[in-house]
Each structure stands twice: as structure tokens, then as C-alpha cells.
């Protein structure tokens, strides 16, 4: 059993295997994610009931919440990939980590942007120094730090290890930053979807939101795979199998 | 101790701290009532920047003359030697800044009740800065233009310390109980002390390879 896992692990860890397998997955993943996003958008924007207090402006929730979730999840994906790369020295994990950083930064930026667009009609201002907004801003800084560190090294071998260590240190710090900022000042509404206990959001509004969250998860996976494939091609451009692809 | 022999390394962060703080009244307003409001935050921000300034040199000189490789190869555990480096860094930046802070507090018209939390907070807070900063300094040790990058990667990690430290002073000024906040800062320091040297040692082994 152990031998099997090890063998599978090593086979899965080769960029070539990843490239060929994901070539088969990509169309399906793209279909599912686009389908879910279109379905969720139409449902959420067209058919979900209007909010009693915020009117139609609340509908940005269907983009804002999934993006914010993925911005945070993305950091942990990046750090987990970094840990795998650091411990087992798997090249593929390093490529995933490097690809996750710009995608995560983009998601974090979009979360801040959609949040501030939503903030104008509801709070009357684009920006407030509220706990969650500030922690998202810190998250953006952490992502940008990893990207900057990655670009600073000439040697790939040092770059990925340095980025992995930095993202792991960041992971340890994120809950502390989150709590400290939370304690510092709170204006943002508390989380409305809870895994345990009743959600404070109406089920008719919740269903399209869940569709959108799942859709964005697929979309994130799609982006990450595409970005990793580009990274694979860039780094393995001298290997025979990549040359074979072009021919 | 070497830092004392090169007087500059020891004096520069301190001078930076004093100078930037003295810019505040010039830029904002010399009125004591206004200064008193911003004093806690301003002293903390300038202290943070001053420590950041000295961070780049923590391992760089040793890297340049090759003794860093000797340190890594030596039989003593690396985290212990990193801890020694961090303590030295704190002694030449954090400690002088802490001792200088009450004087600057007076110049910025900080109310009387703010001094004790300011000193205790800065003493622990600057130690946290040195401990966390060591990881960043170790990662960027081989980069010739690592200074700005080092600030970029380390500063987000400083947020909790700044929040706890500045709010302890703020609470002191407002006559509230500041001990819980200082306790949180102390907890953060303990955590950084327990994990920081190990992370920095790992980072150092990576960083020296350029």
C-alpha cells in the first residue's frame, strides 16, 4: 500500500504527467465553471428576491463573497503547495505555489474593489478602516511580498524555498493579524453563512450564492491549472516532451 | 559588540527615530493638544521604521566577509546563533529606541499616563520586530538590493505588534486598563521567540545560496 502511494505520489509529481492529465480535464472544468457561473449570475441577479433594506445593491454579494473566500483560501493553497515543495522537493508543487501567488493577489484586489463598490451605496463611502477590509489589505500585501521575493532571485532553487518559507510564516501570522485587526475595530457585518447553526441569510438568496461559490472554486482551479501549465512549459522548454508538443 | 565599535550602526537608527519624530510637529501642527492625540501612534510608527532600517544589516556584513558560512557550518545549533544575532540587533536598535522614546513623548506632549505602557510596549514590541525581521533579513541576505524588498515582505507581519503597542499607549492616555493589551503583546513576543529563530535559521540556509 505504502509503495503504491509513493509511486502514485512521484508519478503525480512530474510536470509531464500533470500536463497531459490536465489536458483531458480542462474542457470539462471550463464547461462546469462557466456553466455554474452563468447559472448563478442569472439566478442571483435576476430571480433572487430583493433585499428589504439594501434593495438591488446587495446583489454584488454574488461576486464579492465567492471572490473574498477564494482570496483567503488561495493563500492557504499557496502555502500548502510551498510546504509540499519544501519538504518533499517536488518540482510541481513549487510551480503551483508560484502560480497561486498572482492569482490570489488578483482575487484579493477584486475582493477589495467589489467591496468598495458595494460600500458606496450601503455605508456611503468607498473605503472605511474596518477590520475585515484591513485584513484583506494586509493579505494583499502578503501576496505582493511573495511575488516580489520570487522575482528577486536569479536561482529558481532558492526562489521557491524562500517563497515557501515566507508564505508559511505568513500562514502562521494570518490568524493573529485577523484577530488583532478584528479586535482593533469592527464595522463590517458579521459572517452570514455558518456551517453550524442557522444562516442569517434568506434561503432564496443563499442558493444562488452557493452556486456562485462552487462556480468560483471551479474557476479558481481552472485558472490555477492553466497558470501552472504555462509555468511548466516555460521551465521545461528544453525537455524533449515539450519540444515534441510543438512539433 | 562589533556594532559599538562602528559607532554608526548603533547611532543611525536612533538618529533616524529622533529625526522622523521631530518632523511630525513641523508637518502637522505644533499645538500640544493635537500632538497629544497622534503621539502614541507616531512614536510607534517611527520606531517601526527605525528598526526596519537597521534590519538589512543583520546578516549582510557577515555574508559579505564569508563568516556567515562559518556560522552555518559551526557545530552549534544554528537557531541559537540566530538568536544571538537577534539579541544583538535588539540591543543596538530596540533598546536605545525604547530609552529614547520617553524624551520624544515629552516633545510630542504625550500625556503623563502614557509613558509606562509606551516603555514596556516598545521594549517587547521592538524585540518582536527584531525576531520577525530576522526571517526576512535571512531570506534577502544574498540580494544586493534587498533593502526595499525586505521592508515589503516584513511589514505586513508587523501589523499586530503595531496595533497592540499603539493601543496600549492609547488606553493608558485615556485612563483605561492597558495591561490586557500588553499581555497580548507579551504573548505575541513569547510566540515569536519560540518560533522565530527556527524559521530564521531555515531561511538563512536558503538565503545564502543566492
Tell me what the mean pLDDT of segment B115-119 comes to.
Answer: 83
Q: At what angle do helices B115-139 and B179-207 cross, to 10 degrees?
A: 20
Q: Is B10 exposed, middle or buried (0-12, 13-18, 19+ CB in 10 A)?
A: middle
Assess whether pLDDT exceeds 60 at residue A197: no
pLDDT greater than 80 at residue B187: yes
User: What pLDDT is recorded for position A54?
Assistant: 66
Is A138 in contact with B207 (Cβ distance < 8 A)? no
Preferred mutation among B136, B139, B169, B191 to probe A, highest tally of A CBs within 10 A: B139
Instruction: Tell me how far apart the alpha carbons of residues A117 and A124 are, in angstroms, rounded to a whole number.
Output: 10
Answer whether A165 sits within 8 Å of B209, measured CB to CB: no
The CA distance from A26 to A21, in Å, is: 9
Q: State the Cα–Cα distance between residues A199 and A205, nearest whole angstrom.
A: 11
Domain boundaries, chain A: 31-246
Closest CA to B55 of B184, B122, B121, B153: B153
B5 to chain A, closest Cα gap in Å:
33
Cα separation of A105 and A139, whole Å? 8
C-alpha to C-alpha distance for B136 and B108, rounded to whole angstroms: 32
> What residue has cell string 528544453?
A238
Q: Do A184 and B143 touch (CB under 8 A)?
A: no
Size of interface A-B (CB pairs under 8 A): 77
End-to-end Cα separation, chain B, in angstroms: 28
* Number of Cβ atoms within 10 Å of the Cβ of A25: 12
Whether A247 shows a pLDDT value over 70: the answer reads no
Q: Is residue A38 within a helix (H) or strand (E), and if so which, with residue range?
A: helix A15-42
Report in angstroms the alpha-carbon separations of B137 from A105, A183, B52, B118.
Answer: 23, 30, 10, 26
Domain ranges in chain B are 2-207
The CA-based angle A73-A103-A158, given to 5 degrees, is 95
**Sign of the Cα pseudo-torsion (A61, A63, A65, A68, in order):** negative
Can you give the pLDDT at residue B7? 55
Asked whether this complex has an ipTM greater than 0.90, the answer is no
Write the burial class of residue A91 (CB in 10 Å: 0-12 exposed, 13-18 middle, 19+ buried): middle
- B121 contacts in A (CB within 8 Å)? none
Cell numbers given for A134: 484591513
Q: What band does A106 get if pLDDT is binned at 50, 70 and 90?
A: very high
Q: What is the pLDDT of residues B84-111, one digit of tens each?
A: 888 888 888 888 888 888 888 877 777 7
Amino acid at each position: 500500500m505504502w509503495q503504491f502511494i509513493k509511486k502514485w505520489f512521484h508519478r503525480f509529481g512530474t510536470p509531464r504527467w500533470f500536463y497531459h492529465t490536465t489536458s483531458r480535464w480542462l474542457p470539462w472544468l471550463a464547461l462546469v465553471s462557466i456553466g455554474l457561473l452563468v447559472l448563478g449570475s442569472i439566478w442571483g441577479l435576476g430571480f433572487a428576491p430583493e433585499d428589504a433594506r439594501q434593495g438591488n445593491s446587495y446583489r454584488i454579494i454574488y461576486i464579492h463573497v465567492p471572490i473574498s473566500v477564494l482570496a483567503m483560501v488561495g493563500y492557504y493553497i499557496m502555502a500548502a503547495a510551498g510546504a509540499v515543495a519544501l519538504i518533499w522537493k517536488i518540482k510541481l508543487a513549487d510551480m503551483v505555489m508560484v502560480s497561486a501567488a498572482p492569482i490570489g493577489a488578483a482575487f484579493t484586489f477584486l475582493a477589495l474593489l467589489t467591496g468598495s463598490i458595494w460600500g458606496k451605496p450601503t455605508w456611503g463611502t468607498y473605503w472605511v478602516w474596518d477590520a475585515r477590509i484591513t485584513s484583506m489589505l494586509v493579505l494583499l500585501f502578503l501576496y505582493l511580498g511573495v511575488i516580489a521575493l520570487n522575482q528577486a532571485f536569479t536561482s529558481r532553487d532558492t526562489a521557491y524555498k524562500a517563497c515557501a518559507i515566507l508564505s508559511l510564516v505568513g500562514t502562521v501570522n494570518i490568524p493573529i493579524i485577523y484577530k488583532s485587526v478584528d479586535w482593533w475595530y469592527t464595522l463590517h457585518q458579521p459572517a452570514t453563512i455558518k456551517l453550524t447553526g442557522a444562516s442569517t441569510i434568506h434561503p432564496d438568496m443563499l442558493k444562488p450564492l452557493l452556486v456562485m461559490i462552487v462556480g468560483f472554486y471551479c474557476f479558481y482551479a481552472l485558472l490555477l491549472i492553466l497558470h501552472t501549465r504555462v509555468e511548466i512549459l516555460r521551465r521545461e522548454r528544453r525537455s524533449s516532451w515539450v519540444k515534441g508538443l510543438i512539433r | 559588540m562589533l556594532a559599538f565599535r562602528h559607532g554608526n550602526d548603533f547611532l543611525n537608527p536612533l538618529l533616524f527615530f529622533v529625526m522622523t519624530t521631530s518632523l511630525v510637529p513641523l508637518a502637522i501642527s505644533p499645538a500640544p493638544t493635537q500632538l497629544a492625540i497622534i503621539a502614541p501612534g507616531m512614536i510607534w510608527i517611527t520606531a517601526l521604521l527605525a528598526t526596519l532600517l537597521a534590519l538589512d544589516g543583520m546578516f549582510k556584513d557577515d555574508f559579505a566577509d564569508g563568516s556567515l558560512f562559518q556560522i552555518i557550518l559551526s557545530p552549534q545549533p544554528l537557531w541559537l546563533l540566530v538568536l544571538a544575532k537577534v539579541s544583538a540587533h535588539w540591543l543596538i536598535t530596540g533598546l536605545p529606541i525604547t530609552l529614547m522614546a520617553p524624551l520624544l513623548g515629552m516633545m510630542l506632549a504625550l500625556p503623563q499616563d502614557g509613558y509606562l505602557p509606551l516603555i514596556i510596549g516598545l521594549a517587547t514590541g521592538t524585540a518582536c520586530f527584531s525576531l520577525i525581521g530576522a526571517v526576512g533579513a535571512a531570506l534577502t541576505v544574498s540580494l544586493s538590493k534587498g533593502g526595499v524588498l525586505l521592508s515589503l515582505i516584513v511589514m505586513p507581519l508587523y501589523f499586530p505588534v503595531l496595533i497592540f503597542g499603539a493601543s496600549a499607549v492609547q488606553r493608558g492616555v485615556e485612563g483605561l486598563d492597558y495591561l490586557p493589551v500588553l499581555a497580548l503583546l507579551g504573548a505575541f513576543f513569547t510566540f515569536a521567540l519560540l518560533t522565530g529563530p527556527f524559521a530564521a535559521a531555515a531561511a538563512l540556509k536558503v538565503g545564502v545560496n543566492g
